[in-house]
Amino acid sequence: MTSISDLPRDEAIAIYESLFLIRQAELKIAELYPEQEMRCPTHLSVGQEAVAVGVCAALKISDHVYSTHRCHAHYLAKGGNLKAMVAELYGKSTGCAGGKGGSMHLIDTSVGMMGASAIVASSIPIAVGSALAFQLQGKDNVAVAFLGDAGVEPGAFAESLGFAALRRLPIIFACENNLYATQSHMAQRQPLDNIYQRGEPFGIPGTRVDGNDVVEIYEVTRDAVNRCRAGQGPSLIEARTYRWLEHVGPYPDYDMGYRSIDELHEWQKNDPLPSYRNLLTQSDLIGNKELTDLESQINDMIEDAVAFAKESPMPSADKLDQFLY
């Protein structure tokens, strides 16, 4: 198993930067969302950050990532522009999709964040197409399809597994299993708790990992990436994690009756941020003061991004039908 001491110092610190940026950016969004200036549904990943960061840390900029309605973490972990993301949530012309996509449709192709779709499982076949293009072009790039536990239920998932296996495509199916689809527990929707094994009928290897252990996620993804680059075909990763806030919106939802506050508290004991922060300081890769300074810089970046978004202009009327086909 990879330990944090096996990582180059810069990479180990960059992983924490990404974790902290995603957590703080989303907490800021949750704080500001009730002002109702962000006129789009917003699905937050608070508690789930390690999956996005661990996967994307194993990728190159030229590798492609495709996301879901809960896409902030994937966008930022892949290196997406923070100011453009926040501006997009505010519907501004400086947003990453020109203010027309909102929270569920983030994109930054300059870093390989190829887009997100709000329709469950709909981005999975597109990621397969990207992997096919890499193969046909003779490139050693990899595509990643992020999906939730509900994303394995539509037929598009099985069809994508089958075609990817048939063509031995360089793709990783990365399932963030937070146990709930909206307010329905996985046990109410799926007869077997075996998402990581769903690729076995197609000959696709699968691995279940602790979705709050960013180092384990990085290691498993790195191995899957190496398989892809060697022409050995797709892999499936199931990362077990937990969202702290409601399905959509900035608030807790433990008064709704479908899950308990005790369940949240159990998962918070394994919060990925302090766990990884402690690993960093205990390994002497960086001191506590340096980390505190880094955190302060990231918080300043987030405040700057919010100010930029609020000051940016709305899209002009003559752009209304741009990118409509």
- Listed in sequence order, the residues at least 6 apart from 307 whose beta carbon sits closer than 8 Å to its beta carbon are none
Q: In terms of residue numbers, what domain contains 224?
A: 4-306
The tens-digit pLDDT sequence of the chain (325 residues) is 567 878 999 999 999 999 999 999 999 999 999 999 999 999 999 999 999 999 999 999 999 999 999 999 999 999 999 999 999 999 999 999 999 999 999 999 999 999 999 999 999 999 999 999 999 999 999 999 999 999 999 999 999 999 999 999 999 999 999 999 999 999 999 999 999 999 999 999 999 999 999 999 999 999 999 999 999 999 999 999 999 999 999 999 999 999 999 999 999 999 999 999 999 999 989 999 999 999 999 999 999 999 999 999 999 988 888 877 7
Residue spans of beta strands (DSSP E) within the chain: 64-67, 113-116, 143-148, 171-177, 180-181, 184-185, 206-210, 235-240
* 319 inside domain: no
Q: Is 79 left (phi over 0), alpha (psi -120 to 50) or beta?
A: left
Q: Are 85 and 72 in contact (CB under 8 A)?
A: yes
Domain at 79, CATH number? 3.40.50.970
Within-domain flag for 314: no
- What six digits make up the tokens of 144? 């990643």
pTM greater than 0.95 (yes/no)? yes
Residue 325 located in a structural domain: no
The reply to whether 87 falls in a domain is yes
Instruction: Determine the Cα–Cα distance for residues 303 and 45; give it in Å rounded to an integer.
Output: 19
- 316 lies in some domain: no
The reply to whether 258 falls in a domain is yes
- Buried b / exposed e across 72-81, counting CB within 10 Å, b at 16+? bbbbbbbbbb
CB 80 within 8 A of CB 86: no
- Residue 31 within any structural domain of the chain: yes
With contact defined as beta carbons under 8 Å apart, do 105 and 80 qualify?
Answer: no
In a domain, 94, yes or no: yes
How many whole angstroms separate alpha carbon 29 and alpha carbon 32? 5
Number of domains in the chain: 1
